[in-house]
Structure 1
Amino acid sequence: MTATLKSAALLTHSILQRLAFITFLLCALCLSAATIAAIIGALPWLQFSVAFGGTLYDNAGQITQIGLTVLAVLLCVFLPANARIMALETSHRRFNIGMQDVARAYHAAHAADRAGLFRLSSEFDAVRERLAYLRDHPDLGTLEPDLLEVAAQMSHISRELAQVYSDDRIARARNFLTQRQQEVEAFNARLDQAKQITRELKHWSHEVELEESVAASQLQRLRDDLRDVLPELGLEDMLRHDGTVIDITQKAAE
């Protein structure tokens, strides 16, 4: 929609430029002819009076006619320059349209080259093969043969680039990267699992060490209490310093 409006605006602008060109040219010709005819007496001068500062000028019409004629002639001096500018703008628009068509045709040929449709190796045969493909392309049938030939030559020049970035190689590269990505994700999952197991084992080990410490403390307290109680029970030399039993002598009951 935007492209259509832009094209319509450019067309309207071009038509108005040409109408203005024709209007200025006709005005200059008519005023020049009328002034020359008035000078030689074939036509009357433009007649009206103008008062300025209390002074009445009866020949104001003649001065105005001559001034408008000179102005129109001077404006016509710029018409050739304007015509050249219009020609340059038209040529620029045609050049842009031509380059867009060439780019579109080249894109189609390059895509076919990446897909491996062209097999001929010699330059002449390769260009001719590409040109035939572009001529039979459903979206490029309205383009001029010269544009298609330029696109075919450009496609032949970039054939090495099409081979390097062919569809098969790109597909293999994508598959390889996909597999690598999957491997990395699987490794990260195993790594997270190993971290979780490590944290659980470390916590478990800490709890076991804490329980062992509590048990050893209770055992030592029990030994201390037992060492204090043995003499009262008539049991002597029962424990070594490390807590092992070495002798038990029970005294006779009194």
Structure 2
Amino acid sequence: MSDRSLVARGHRVLHSMSLGLILVTGLAAIAYTTAAAFGAVPWLTFTAVFGEYTVPNAGMVTQIALTVMLASLFFFMPSAGRIMSLERAHRDFRVSMEDVARAYHVCHTADRSGVFTMSSEFDAVRERLAYLRDHPDLDTLEPQIMELAAQMSHQSRELADIYNDEKVARAKTFLRQRQEEVERQQTLIVEAHHNLRDIRKWSQQVELEESVVASQLSQLEEQLEATLPGLGYTLGKDSAEIVPLPQKPAAE
């Protein structure tokens, strides 16, 4: 039992004891004051002084006032009893609904597993009720609770058929396969990004090397153009073609 249940039970016990104490004390005060009024028993007597004023018959006045106050508490006891009855009924209703929910869960789980095969309403409810009665965890439940849970399970049989264990397992398998396919595609995308980065880096490196080679060829061509005239040659239209320069006529 939980601490909250223990506190609630203790509160109810103290409440009942308080009501009983008020009832007994009030009846005793009324009986004693009535007997004192008829002279059967003595009145309460004591001396009360307020400043310089002495209150006469202070004991009798106090006794009558306490009796009236205790008697007035009787008018609150019916409402307190009704509140306790409502609390008790609410507690019993909550316990009953918890039992119904527990029995319905057992029956609905069995229905999702395909345990029940009857199609007509009467046979289906009777089959579910027999299953609940034979269940080891529900042997302490009342027959009315089992019957209500069986009827609720019959009303939700379409829901149990839609979400039966086989269909749910098949849906989970399908979703698991889709998840694996998504993870596989993500892996391929990551690899593609890595390959693209490598190709781009390689391309930039090749372009840099080509520009270096082109610069070196241009420098070689300039140096060749500057050197060939001294040797009597020059470059033709095609830079790869070297032609001799025309010789000057010898002086006579």
TM score, norm. by length of structure 2: 0.90
Equivalent residue runs for 1:1-254 within 5 Å: 3-236=1-234, 239-245=235-241, 247-248=243-244
AA paired with 1:104? R
Deviation at 1:71, TM superposition (A): 0.9
Q: Alpha-carbon deviation of 1:101? A: 1.0
Check conservation: 1:24, 1:75, Cα contact below 8 A. Answer: yes
CA contact (8 A) 2:232 2:244 kept: no
* CA distance in 2: counterparts of 1:208 and 1:150, whole angstroms: 81
Cα separation, partners in 2 of 1:250 and 1:218, compared to 1, 3 Å: farther
2:146 partner SS: helix
Report how far residue 241 of structure 1 moved.
Answer: 3.0
The change in CA–CA distance for 1:4 and 1:206 in structure 2 (over 3 A counts) is closer
CA contact (8 A) 1:102 1:147 kept: yes
User: Secondary structure of the residue that 1:81 maps to in structure 2?
Assistant: helix
| CA-CA distance at 1:250 after TM superposition | 10
Cα deviations by residue, 1:26-73 (Å, 9 ceiling, x for unpaired):
112111112222222222222222222323334112111211111111
CA separation in 1, counterparts of 2:6 and 2:214? 97
Q: C-alpha displacement at 1:168, in angstroms?
A: 1.4
- How many equivalent residue pairs? 247
Amino acid at match of 1:185: E
2:42 and 2:238 mapped to 1: Cα distance?
148
Post-superposition offset of 1:135: 1.3
Unaligned segments of structure 1, at least 5 residues = none
- How much does 1:247 deviate? 4.1
Q: For the aligned residues, what is the CA RMSD?
A: 1.9
Secondary structure, in 3 states, of the residue corresponding to 2:89?
A: helix
Within 1, Cα distance between the matches of 2:93 and 2:143? 16
List gaps (5 residues or longer) in structure 2: 248-252
CA distances 1:142-195 after superposition (whole Å, capped 9, x unpaired): 111111111111111111112222221121111111111111111111112122
CA contact (8 A) 1:48 1:58 kept: no
Distance 1:221 1:57, change over 3 A: closer
CA contact (8 A) 1:27 1:72 kept: yes
Q: 1:166, 1:14 → 2: CA distance?
A: 45
SS of the aligned residue for 1:243 comes to coil
CA shift, 1:131, in A, is 1.3
Query: Secondary structure in 2 aligned to 1:47?
Result: coil
Using the alignment, how far apart are the partners of 2:236 and 2:185 within structure 1? Answer: 56
CA distance in 2, matches of 1:248, 1:119: 109
Q: 1:27 to 1:223 in 2, by over 3 A?
A: same
Aligned residue identity for 1:226 = L
Distance in 1 (alpha carbons) for counterparts of 2:197 and 2:237: 39
